Amino acid sequence: MSKTPTVLSEETGILVIGLGLIGGSLLAALRDAGYAGRCFGVDLNPKEVALGRRMGLIDDGGADPAAFLPHVSLIVLAVPVMAIAPVMAQLSQRRRHGQVVTDVGSTKSAIRDQIRAALGRVPSWLVLGHPIAGAEKSGVEAANPALYQRHRVILTPEADTDVQALKRVERLWRVCGAHIEQLTVERHDEVLARTSHLPHLLAFSLVDTLARQDDRLDIFRYAAGGFRDFTRIAGSDPVMWRDIYLANREAVLEALSEFEAGVSELRTAVAGGDGDAMLGIFSRASHARHYFDRLLSQKSYQVMETRNVVYRAGAGGQVRGNIRVPGDKSMSHRSIMLGALAEGVTTVEGFLEGEDSLATLQAFREMGVAIEGPQAGRVVIHGVGLHGLKQPGGALYLGNSGTSMRLFAGLMAGQTFDVTLTGDESLNRRPMGRVADPLRLMGAVIDTGEGGRPPLTVRGGQRLAGIDYDLPMASAQVKSCLLLAGMYATGDTRVREPAPTRDHTERMLTAFGYPVARHEDVAHIAGGGRLTGGFIDVPADISSAAFFLVAASITPGADLTLQHVGINPTRVGVINILREMGADIELLNERKVSGEPVADVRVRYAELHGIDIPVDQVPLAIDEFPVLFIAAANASGTTRLRDALELRVKESDRIKAMADGLDILGVVNTVVEDGIDIVGGRYHGGEVESLGDHRIAMAFTVAALRAEGDITIRDCANVATSFPNFPALAREVGMQLEVVSEDA
């Protein structure tokens, strides 16, 4: 943290009442940040005050706050939660105009209620807060200036809290390196009861239970690291925790009841030898723990909005080698969905361990499906049958995955329980009327957010009926949604496409023993069937391969082979279009796996020329157009795209977003309502925005191969949704790519 004497310059002095770990660490952080004002400390223990002086944390201190109030503008209450109200009553009598007070208590309802009882209201100059940080050590001697860095501080202001007071408290914690969030008092106490108070309660109980055993010495002597890790927090201050449980009693009891129900469920599974039930509980817990690790380190899975990842792509480079890109995302999604709803066990190889696919996997875990892995692309799913899903405990969070959202809408329409589907900020901006409207025609009851956007709440227990539906726009996701809902409907469901789209759903349903008929442009499914588990081999994703297909096509001297790529006829538009532009692409070792055609794809540099992209190829390459725009920028002449309105409603408006980036690089282009014209030629470097769209981020990385300067691409965290090892593979073939993570 940079030291500057100007931080918190509006504060003439700061008083911390309570010189323990939390208060002492706050003072240490301020000193470390270069705070130039005077610091005062109050504590009933004179030894703590004396030690605070010797450590240089305070300029002066004592036992009575009144002596220091004339010299400060900000007061921090770091006393036990049960003592805050009496201190506040004393301060309210002597507080000077403009002074702001905040606290660090870990329960807010009790503090607020006590203050209201003592003062009649919560003063507007009081900002209730709670830093989510601590240690088992106590006292000012344990003060740590880094305690709050990259930790959250939750503020719980009232409706009439003074805005300027709130801003001053926010600045205080930001100077200490903390991230600020706001919650209501009630929500704060609910969350902390489950994530902090309950774990401490369990640790205290376990250690106390074992300590009272006759053989306790052997128990502790041979305890492994797991026991030490779990029980470490039982060394915390007993008096402090007694006060916390008294103050937050109702929320803690509710959390304890939930835990007891979970233990009872696990006890039943162990007693009955129910391996699938145990696996389901353990796998959900294991995955949730990994998620917690990612959240603590601020990695991106399911918290993508909190991270800012920047790509710096160096101009030039080469493209040579032999690589395999990750598994097909579309098939990875569908293998989990159908495997979970099948009867029996399904083994998946080549599963894409990207964030979109992991979101789908986790959602089914939350609905009671036991899933092993993923481990090096291998997933084992213990199916529960079409009617075996259980209601999740809360909303299903689907991250950035539009595929998950749209396909889940169809599956959830046939369940007996209500479920809410939500996602990250980007997904929650995307329109869902295209699936909600036809599902409603089938009898589904779906509530959407403003403008037909997520979150979607799908009401259970509805009787679905098959329909004949003409898609207004070619979309594999909408088609798949209706076919999946059709499994739960009475009668037949027929979906007519205006143009061919990817048929992974139809192929995989058939592989799971649920036939889907195809008559020209109509896909047809009958309700009332069943799925049977089996083996799925997921080929490499041609959408991911597309970035390297274009990279090799535009880079002089390139010679690259991509292994085991899926070449489904409904997905090879990118190859067809590149060949039409003059690309040198060869399919080797063509074969079939799990009903899907696969090949090794060799691509070498070739001079590309502009074309009018055939309209019949547009739906076959809809996801690959961002990188195809880069191919067009490196082709002689003009490339014209039309009839591509679908690109306007992807993760971003991909036509506009790509055009904006091309403008920055100096690529001549003209945007029309349903497409774009791109004039190939030389272009320079620059800084472009991906708008959180993974395909745009990767496309501009490829553009750097022929740019006359480096290209910086911002907001690239979402690349992990589809291609988690893209930077490593890009560097492996010779591209110059640096990944920089920045705090949001």
Residues annotated catalytic, as ranges: 623
Q: Are 582 and 636 in contact (CB under 8 A)?
A: no
Element (H, E) at 191: helix 185-192
CA 738 vs CA 303, 307, 541, 662, 731: distances in Å: 22, 16, 24, 21, 9
Q: 3-class DSSP state for residue 242?
A: helix
The C-alpha atoms of residue 695 and residue 693 are separated, in whole angstroms, by 6
Q: Which of 603, 607, 604, 535 is nearest to 565 (CA)?
A: 603
The C-alpha atoms of residue 515 and residue 525 are separated, in whole angstroms, by 7
Q: Which of 35, 20, 6, 12 is nearest to 100 (CA)?
A: 12
The C-alpha atoms of residue 300 and residue 305 are separated, in whole angstroms, by 8
Q: Are 585 and 601 in contact (CB under 8 A)?
A: yes
CA angle 723, 724, 726 (to 5 degrees): 65
Element (H, E) at 336: helix 329-341
The distance of Cα 530 from the centroid of its chain, to the nearest Å, equals 33
The C-alpha atoms of residue 209 and residue 127 are separated, in whole angstroms, by 40
Known binding-site residues for phosphoenolpyruvate equal 329, 402, 430, 477, 654, 695
Strand residues in 336-416 grouped as ranges (E): 343-349, 370-375, 378-384, 396-397
The C-alpha atoms of residue 728 and residue 730 are separated, in whole angstroms, by 5
Cα dihedral 245, 249, 252, 253 sign: positive
Helix axes 329-341, 402-412, angle to 10 degrees: 20
Q: Are 40 and 58 in contact (CB under 8 A)?
A: yes
Q: Are 527 and 493 in contact (CB under 8 A)?
A: yes
Known binding-site residues for 3-phosphoshikimate equal 329-330, 334, 475, 477, 623, 650
Tokens 């902090």 appear where? Answer: 196
